[in-house]
Structure 1
């Protein structure tokens, strides 16, 4: 029996969204430039995020930045599994960020309790089967293609309606494969086959996703549509300097009462959530 066989999704606190901290075990991540590519460094960083209060640690071994090339299955397994094993007892729920069923199944066996598939089951037809068999939480993100060409697919009649409809189809396919509704989280997929303007529209219409009656996870952290936020000269802000803009988005997400926020910087996210909590309590 796997570690996630009898698990359910972590419960959202009443006063804030869950905070999912990112651990990229990749040499080419857009956000941290391979800083945690070494397994020991990744484990240390994950433990730091747990100490800062992260509810979930999301471990990924494949960069999904636009234009990124995919590692082999063996490379991804070698990157991810030691880190999952090293963090499984750290006190947080472990999520594996992968599009491959083989990696997901191995990660769950190693201690992961959530499968975070940015393709929402479309990249590997066995992914939903693995989610159903293991009972792990299953994040279904809206997706239209791999990193090398996804931005060419950012064409919509109505971005909110189209993303909701396609996401509902992905959820339906997971349910048909035997995944229970209680396992599923949805993610609108900011930055994946979306222009900057389309990302802002989706953030403005989060209620459309919440009407699907499933937990909503949103990952805006350090993404390119935030690159010019706060720039004194209008030029792009480096990814590692976008945490101020990310925290501002986290305020919006906390106000919308999403289920979880996926971020690189945990401390600023908690500060953002605290601001929303205090404002809400002051109105009472």
Structure 2
């Protein structure tokens, strides 16, 4: 069964749900909803990676996510912290976070030497390496094309894997997210090429994670379909991930994915 990371954005400007969960009580209620719908992890973010987002201070980012982390961790809920800042990552681990989801692939400037000591203390720590054509939040002007995107992702993953392993992190603790939408390119066909060639990536990086939920490339290919109208196209794309046995999926709508997974598995039972 796929492990689902339920997306919980505690931000003002996330492209899909910015501003909805800034209040800690609202964020906690949404987290409980995602868990009840079948999320295995809560993927918590206090800094939007939306192409039009503004960077907030490290202090503000931590202020947004801390109440949620401290509420759920004592209850045994697995928290993935979506942050690219080492100081926020450090605070998260100390508060009980056991998965770091870094949209820079752990390349953002800052001292990450603490990883070595923390991996010894918390051997269950997981590190999600996300590929992006830029250094932090999504941006325009990518040089990626459908013809080169897979090779670029492979090279990036190899480099990041090598560095993290050199810090004492076991390879089994690494997950790999190729990035989608504006993290790759404003050209939607770049993202679709990744989806078409998932098997190539899986051969070398079997612990793949993908997040396609409500992404720009799904809307743009259909004539600028508004974010609110991307649920069906998201599910179509996530069914493709299930077909390709992607082990980890990030999504906003956990219930629809869990229901679709059950039906999909029943339909495939005799194959």
Summarize the alignment of residues 180-259 of structure 1 with structure 2, pairs less than 5 Å apart.
180-191=170-181, 192-194=183-185, 195-228=187-220, 235-259=223-247
**Any conservation in 2 of the 1:120–1:141 contact (CA below 8 Å)?**
yes
The alpha-carbon deviation at position 108 of structure 1 amounts to 1.5
Q: Where in structure 1 do 4 or more consecutive aligned residues deviate above 2 Å?
A: 89-92, 124-127, 129-135, 146-151, 153-157, 234-238
Match of 1:133 in 2: 117
Which residues in structure 2 correspond to 1:81-92 (within 5 Å)? 81-92=66-77
* Partner in structure 1 of residue 90 of structure 2: 105
Deviation at 1:100, TM superposition (A): 0.6
- Whole-angstrom distance in 2 between the partners of 1:72 and 1:18: 31
Aligned runs of 1:143-158 on 2, under 5 Å?
A: 143-146=132-135, 150-156=139-145, 158=148
Q: CA deviation at 1:150?
A: 2.9
TM-score (norm: length of structure 1): 0.87
Structure 1 counterpart of 2:122: none
Which is further off, 87-96 or 37-46?
87-96
Alpha-carbon distance, 1:237 to partner: 2.6
Match of 2:165 among 158, 175, 189: 175
Q: 1:164 to 1:277 in 2, by over 3 A?
A: same
Unaligned runs of 5+ in 1: 1-15
Asked if structure 2 preserves the Cα contact closer than 8 Å seen for 1:248 and 1:272, the reply is: no
* Secondary structure class of the residue paired with 1:262: strand
Q: CA deviation at 1:175?
A: 1.3
CA RMSD, 1 decimal:
1.8
The one of 143, 161, 165 equivalent to 2:155 is 165
For the 8 Å contact 1:99–1:121, the answer to whether it is kept is: yes
Do the aligned partners of 2:207 and 2:247 also contact (CA within 8 Å) in 1? Answer: yes
State the SS of the aligned residue for 1:178: coil
1 CA distance for matches of 2:240 and 2:211?
12
Question: Which of 252, 256, 259 is residue 271 of structure 1 equivalent to?
Answer: 259
Normalised TM-score (structure 2) = 0.91
Distance 2:43 2:244 in 1: 22
Q: How many aligned positions are there?
A: 263
Q: 1:282 is paired with a residue of what secondary structure?
A: coil
1:40 corresponds to which of 15, 19, 25 = 25
**Alpha-carbon spacing, 1:267–1:170, altered in 2? closer, same or farther (3 Å):** same
